[in-house]
C-alpha cells in the first residue's frame, strides 16, 4: 500500500502552503541556484533532480530521489546558521538521504568542479543508463 494507513502520501500530508512556497522559491532562485540547475540538466541528463523540494519542515535546494542525494547551496549567511544546517542534515540523513553542501562562491567560480563532485556521488546510480 502506498502512503499511510489512510492511503495518503507524504506530499498529501503537507500543509497547503508548501506547494506555493516551493513554487515561490523556484521563481526567486538566486544566480548560483540557476547556474547549478542548468549545469545539472546539461551534464547529468540521466539523473532526475528536482528543485526546492519540501522534506519535512525544510525545502532542499536540489534532490535526486533515485540517488538519495540532497544538494544544498549555502549563501554567505549560512556561517551564522551552522546549528540549523546541522539539524537539517541530521533530519535528511534520518530520512535516508546523503547531503552535499556547496558555497555560493564555489558554484560561481568552479561550476565544473561542483558538477564533477555531484557526478561522482551519483555515479553508482547512473550505471546502465544511456
- For residue 126 the three cell numbers come to 547512473
Cα separation values, 104 from 36, 52, 53, 93, 114, Å = 10, 16, 19, 23, 11
Query: Domains in the chain and their CATH numbers?
Result: 17-123 (3.40.960.10)
Q: Give 85 or 23, the one with higher predicted confidence.
A: 85
pLDDT tens string 25-68? 778 888 999 999 999 999 998 889 999 998 888 889 999 999 99
Q: pTM of the full predicted structure?
A: 0.79
Q: Is the dihedral of CA 39, 42, 45, 51 positive or negative?
A: positive
Amino acid at each position: 500500500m502506498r502512503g499511510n494507513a489512510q492511503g495518503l502520501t507524504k506530499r498529501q500530508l503537507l500543509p497547503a502552503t508548501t506547494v506555493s512556497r516551493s513554487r515561490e522559491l523556484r521563481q526567486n532562485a538566486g544566480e548560483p541556484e540557476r547556474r547549478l540547475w542548468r549545469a545539472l540538466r546539461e551534464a547529468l541528463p540521466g539523473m532526475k533532480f528536482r528543485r526546492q523540494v519540501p522534506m519535512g519542515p525544510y525545502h532542499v535546494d536540489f534532490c535526486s530521489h533515485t540517488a538519495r542525494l540532497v544538494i544544498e547551496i549555502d549563501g554567505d549567511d549560512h556561517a551564522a546558521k551552522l546549528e540549523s544546517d546541522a539539524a537539517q542534515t541530521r533530519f535528511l540523513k534520518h530520512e535516508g538521504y546523503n547531503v552535499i553542501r556547496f558555497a555560493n562562491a564555489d558554484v560561481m567560480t568552479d561550476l565544473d568542479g561542483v558538477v564533477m563532485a555531484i557526478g561522482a556521488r551519483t555515479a553508482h546510480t547512473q550505471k546502465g543508463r544511456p
